[in-house]
Amino acid sequence: MNRRLFTLTTAWVLAAGAVGVPRARAGTKPAASIPAADVMQPADLAAQLKNPALPKPVVLHVGFRKLYQQAHIPGSDYAGPGGDEDGLKTLAERVAKLPKDGLIVIYCGCCPWSRCPNIAAAYDKLHDMGFTQVRALYIADNFGADWVDKGYAAVTSP
């Protein structure tokens, strides 16, 4: 995927007035509130997903649908934007039947980690529901730069 195209689309999606993009709640908790032990690096997740000897986590995209459709981690499911009440409801419904001790990796990648409106809220929601093995994928800048451009597998969907 072309990083410039991804970056332009990211800017468009996050621009004021973008159609169909829920706004984050005021006072959104920062991604930095997630404990370091629960933050996973992209290279580590990519290696785990490629290694047939390792167990596969449930991987959930908790960002905006437009970004998921443009490019996402193979096998990941769209679980709604974590910074939105409807998104958190979608996330809760998606994980309702999963074992509480199973590994779940969440990611967004809409913008730099320090400004992500989705990841911390989704992380907190999963912990509030009793999930004990939740990891947040550290996307420093955006999904295009920190996943796609690094050559890790990515797919698109309609």
Longest dimension (CA), the chain: 46
158 residues of the chain, pLDDT tens digit each: 444 444 434 443 443 333 333 344 445 789 999 999 999 999 999 999 999 999 999 999 999 999 999 999 999 999 999 999 999 999 999 999 999 999 999 999 999 999 999 999 999 999 999 999 999 999 999 999 999 999 999 998 76
Q: How is residue 27 annotated by DSSP?
A: T
108 vs 96: CA distance, rounded Å: 20
Beta pairing partners, 137: 40
Q: Where along the chain do its domains lie?
A: 3-13+29-148
Q: Model pTM?
A: 0.84
Q: What kind of fold does domain 3-13+29-148 have according to CATH?
A: Oxidized Rhodanese; domain 1 (3.40.250)
For the four alpha carbons of 157, 5, 79 and 43, in that order, the dihedral sign comes to positive
- Give yes or no for a contact between 142 and 109, defined as CB atoms under 8 angstroms apart: yes
* Predicted pLDDT at 157: 76
